[in-house]
Amino acid sequence: MITVEFLGPIGKSPIEIEAKTLSDVAVKLKEDPQMAVWLDKCAVALNDTMVKDLGTVLKEGDRISILPPVCGG
């Protein structure tokens, strides 16, 4: 199982899913209509490191963070 958490304004509780790669996570999240509006604007972190490759391999206990558009300052 891996954990997916949704940061900032997304307002969705963390979920636990089965996934071997980030592609599997994408497939799962697209099934959720609430997430569909967010995904094209969101960046992704794996265990608090930003990731940019859909092929990234996941292991048991990994934590994915979904980061919506930011505006610090």
Partner 1 sequence: MELYQGPLEVKEIFARWLDEEAASNYGAYIPFVGTIRAEDGIEALSFDIYEPILRSWFENWQERAKARGAIVKMAHSIGDVPVHTSSYVSAVFSPKRRVALELIEEFVEDFKANAPIWKYDIKEGKRIYAADRSTPMDGAGLLA
- Give me the residues that bind partner 1 (CB under 8 A), please: 7-9, 22, 25-26, 29-30, 39-45, 48-52, 54, 65-73
CB of 18 to partner 1, least distance (A): 16
CB of 27 to partner 1, least distance (A): 9
Residue type, 55: G
58 in Cβ contact with 19 (< 8 Å): yes
Between 1 and 50, whose beta carbon lies closer to partner 1?
A: 50
Q: How many CA atoms lie within 13 A of 32 on its CB side?
A: 15
What are the tokens at 26? 């994408």
